[in-house]
Amino acid sequence: MRTVLLDAADRGAIGAAARIIRNGGLVGMPTETVYGLAANALDRRAVAKIFRAKGRPQDNPLIVHISEFGQIERLVRRVPDAARRLAEAYWPGPLTMVLEKSALIPDEVSAGLPTVGIRFPSHPAARALISAAGVPIAAPSANRSGFPSTTTAAHVMRDMDGKIDAVLDGGPCGVGVESTIVALSSEPPRLLRPGGITLEQLGAVLGRVDVDPAVLKPLPPGARPLSPGMKYKHYSPKANVVIVSGGERKYVDYVNSHAEPGVAALCYDGEDRLLRVPAVCYGGEGDFGAQARELFEALRRLDDIGAGTVYARCPAPEGVGLAVYNRLMRAAGFEVLSLG
């Protein structure tokens, strides 16, 4: 298969990508969070192609994307008031709501669960593609399963060239980490995956929101993931990632004391000048938005420089920083070194 690169600014390209979706094919789709691997969510065979292209486990559910709020009505059993209030506040945007699915959603999309995640993205190319295709679109991140997510069309081509029909180039993603996922199928609502809409923002609309233990800890053996990003090691470069918790001075001293071939650092802006190992920066300390935008590109660059072991600065788990912390914890397989 030859993967075609299309320019999202070209109206004809949107039409070509929509035809691929309607015909059961796969398209790398830009969103404001990360690039998604898009297929017709109502076509079981098309959805199966997503899992094959990514090497994705079959028990990992997919998110369904819509281009207008009204499209949610036929995809779920009911739209609770909480969903309407969240949609009014944060849709279109980087937020996924988990609700009881309707019979229209294939089990392949929901991984056999009675629920489905629905998202209304804000990226204009994503919305144009969904509208032109005329079907809801299932779209996990457009990367090899377990590896860092894709935030540019070039990333998608690197991971998916020859495995999918086309990539729609809509430029770099503005948020940089996958959408926030909140389960509204239980009471109180539960945060399943942090993202660009923070826990505090959810609470401002919903009141109490519980945080699922899998946000900060591994899912217990045998437990079923209720959303993407809960069960498996994700977002990881080829290198072994170790999160180092401690202030800048302690971090720098520790990394420099372990300077040897194959060791690299994932650090905040400016700290690379203090280190005696190859270093990749991923935003300034406390600048959670920049950390989110730059994280996956930084993890991919660590592969490019041939890192074997990466010592990563531990982000603060607050605001959007909670999303960065969650992604790094999973990239590291929850291996954290505390320097006190």
pLDDT at 114 over 90: yes
Residue 319 neighbours by CB distance under 10 Å:
17
- Regarding predicted confidence, which is higher, 229 or 258? 258
Helix axes 81-90, 199-206, angle to 10 degrees: 130
- Closest to 18 (Cα-Cα) out of 152, 171, 143, 166: 166
Residue 86 neighbours by CB distance under 10 Å:
22
pLDDT at 17 over 90: yes
Q: For residue 223, what are the contacts with CB-CB under 8 A and spacing of at least 6?
A: 214, 231
Sign of CA dihedral 290, 296, 297, 298: positive
Distance CA 327, CA 321 (A): 10
Distance CA 86, CA 276 (A): 47
- Regarding predicted confidence, which is higher, 17 or 11? 17
- What CATH number labels 4-215? 3.90.870.10
Percent of the chain with pLDDT over 90: 88
Determine phi and psi for 311, rounding to 5 degrees: -95, 115
- Average pLDDT, stretch 195-205? 98
The average confidence (pLDDT) of the chain is 95
Residue 230 has a pLDDT of 65
Residue 110 has a pLDDT of 95
Residue 237 has a pLDDT of 87
C-alpha dihedral (110, 116, 117, 118), degrees to nearest 10: 120
Domain 240-338, what architecture?
A: 3-Layer(aba) Sandwich (3.40)
Q: Is 119 helix (H, G, I), strand (E, B) or coil?
A: strand
Taken as a whole, the chain contains a residue count of 340
pLDDT at 232 over 60: no
Domains of the chain, residue spans = 4-215, 240-338
Residue 231 has a pLDDT of 58
Residue 146 has a pLDDT of 86
CB contact at 8 A, 301 and 255 = no
240-245 vs 336-338, strand pairing mode: parallel
At residue 7 the predicted structure's pLDDT band, cuts being 50, 70 and 90, is: very high
At residue 211 the predicted structure's pLDDT band, cuts being 50, 70 and 90, is: very high
Helix axes 153-160, 288-304, angle to 10 degrees: 40
The model's pLDDT over 246-299, given as tens digits with 9 standing for 90+, comes to 999 999 999 999 999 999 999 999 999 999 999 999 999 999 999 999 999 999
The model's pLDDT over 137-192, given as tens digits with 9 standing for 90+, comes to 999 999 998 899 999 999 999 999 999 999 999 999 999 999 999 999 888 999 99
Strands of the 137-138 sheet, one edge to the other: 4-7, 166-169, 27-29, 36-40, 137-138, 63-65, 115-119, 95-100, 180-183, 190-193, 210-211
- Regarding predicted confidence, which is higher, 216 or 78? 78
Residue 229 has a pLDDT of 65
pTM, to two decimals: 0.95
